[in-house]
């Protein structure tokens, strides 16, 4: 038995942001975004179409943590009314922060308690959320969870609630034309990891697999070209669509081993998430080939009939993007890498992985 569900209404295409006023429908809204000149211009554009927001939360940082989110929630609670909806305009960090705000009610403490103990869910809030991603990577616009970091305790949490699915995702590739090369690559690789991780996954199903195969093939085809042609709207559109499809795939499966092992690497060494969750993909691929006939079938649709060639092909793809596939390149020592892999396999995301510890350690590379 399997099931697939995703309630998000998607509006996709160049100029899609122009639909924002129709979706807000005159309701009071909070705009969650970044504080820099590019997003200040986007804020003015949204304001010209939909009127001024009741609240602006723009203290969002990369990898939102307890401290910054506590400040965001306090500001939101002081300004918002019970009717205020939330517009998230930015990358995955903005959308994740917006989901925390939607859950926070009178402050961050109720969210923090739920993350740390699993208690108090009945005290969490719920608000309509419209997600407008400006990167092609996280897929957070079509998922019901948010990544939250406790940088002091060196822990990563996932805020997961069905109420956190955005009501709408407005995906406008024109908003991504200004992304720099490094961010384009990192976010694209995050989407590739989402796609592949949803295939070598115990919750993989025929619908999620269709989305995942499409996304992976697209990213492998276009990301090297996009990295060298950043103003190409067609390639940006294909990258955005691939990220969206990858998001739809893992919205039902969650991620697996490559993501599980990435979180401590991001926390300890500051490696951007998209790189941390993708450099190990060839190693994980090598350890999963032959583990499941259905998974192999889907992988052949991406890489071709000879899956053993796929390992080198995936390594070469990453190298073309100047991404090392060795943990040592990111500061990880040999013994630590084995410990991280062992711990990752035992974690929630690692338990989604269809492979075995023996095969992973057999294909261990530093």
Report pLDDT digits (tens) over 254-273: 999 999 999 999 999 999 99
295 vs 354: CA distance, rounded Å: 9
76 vs 158: CA distance, rounded Å: 21
Chain centroid to CA 252: 13
Q: How far apart are the first and last CA of the chain?
A: 39
Answer whether residue 127 is part of any domain. Answer: yes
244 vs 192: CA distance, rounded Å: 11
Query: Does residue 124 sit in the same domain as residue 64?
Result: yes
Of 126, 153, 174, at which residue does a domain stop?
A: 174
Q: Which of the residues in the chain have pLDDT under 70?
A: none
To the nearest 10°, report the CA torsion of 208, 209, 214, 219. Answer: 90
Pairing between β-strand 155-160 and β-strand 145-150 as defined by DSSP bridges: antiparallel
307 vs 122: CA distance, rounded Å: 47
Amino acid 364: pLDDT: 81
Answer whether residue 1 is part of any domain. Answer: no
Amino acid 224: pLDDT: 98
Nearest 5 degrees, angle CA 181-CA 182-CA 183?
Answer: 95
Amino acid 178: pLDDT: 85
Answer whether residue 3 is part of any domain. Answer: no
Q: Which domain holds residue 77?
A: 9-174
137 vs 134: CA distance, rounded Å: 9
Query: Does residue 218 sit in the same domain as residue 151?
Result: no
Domain count, the chain: 2
> By C-alpha distance, which of 132, 355, 158, 165 is closest to 254?
158
Amino acid 365: pLDDT: 76
Element (DSSP H or E) covering residue 179: none
Query: Does residue 129 sit in the same domain as residue 230?
Result: no
Query: Does residue 103 sit in the same domain as residue 41?
Result: yes
Query: Does residue 199 sit in the same domain as residue 288?
Result: yes
The total of other beta-carbon atoms located within 10 Å of residue 1's CB is: 3
358 vs 364: CA distance, rounded Å: 10
């Amino acid at each position: 038995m399997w099931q697939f569900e995703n309630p998000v209404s998607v509006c996709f295409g160049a100029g899609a942001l122009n639909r924002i006023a129709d979706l807000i429908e005159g309701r009071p809204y909070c705009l969650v975004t970044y504080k820099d000149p590019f997003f200040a211009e986007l804020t003015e554009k949204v304001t010209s179409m939909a009127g001024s927001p009741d609240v602006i939360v723009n203290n969002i940082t990369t990898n939102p943590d307890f401290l910054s989110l506590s400040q965001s929630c306090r500001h939101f609670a002081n300004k918002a009314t019970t009717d205020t909806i939330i517009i998230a305009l930015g990358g995955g960090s903005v959308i994740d922060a917006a989901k925390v705000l939607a859950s926070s009610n009178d402050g961050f403490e109720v969210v923090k308690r739920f993350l740390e103990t699993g208690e108090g869910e009945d005290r969490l809030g719920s608000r309509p959320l419209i997600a407008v991603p400006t990167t092609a990577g996280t897929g957070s616009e079509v998922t019901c969870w948010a990544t939250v970091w406790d940088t002091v305790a060196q822990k990563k949490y996932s805020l997961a609630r069905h109420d956190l699915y955005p009501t709408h995702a407005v995906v406008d590739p024109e908003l991504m034309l200004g992304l720099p090369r490094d961010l384009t690559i990192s976010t694209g690789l995050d989407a590739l990891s989402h796609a592949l991780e949803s295939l070598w996954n115990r919750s993989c199903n025929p619908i999620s697999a269709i989305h995942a195969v499409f996304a992976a093939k697209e990213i492998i085809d276009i990301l090297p070209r996009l990295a060298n042609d950043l103003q190409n709207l067609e390639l940006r559109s294909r990258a955005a669509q691939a990220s969206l499809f990858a998001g739809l795939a893992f919205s039902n499966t969650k991620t697996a081993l490559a993501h599980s092992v990435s979180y401590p690497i991001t926390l300890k060494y500051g490696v951007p998430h998209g790189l941390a969750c993708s450099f190990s993909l060839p190693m994980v691929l090598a350890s999963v080939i032959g583990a499941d006939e259905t998974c192999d079938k889907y992988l052949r649709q991406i890489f071709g009939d000879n899956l053993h060639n796929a390992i080198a092909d995936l390594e070469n793809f990453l190298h073309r993007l100047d991404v090392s596939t060795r943990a040592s390149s990111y500061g990880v020592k040999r013994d630590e890498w084995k410990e991280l892999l062992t711990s990752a396999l035992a974690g929630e995301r690692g338990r989604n992985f269809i492979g075995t510890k023996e095969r992973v350690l057999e294909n261990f590379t530093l």
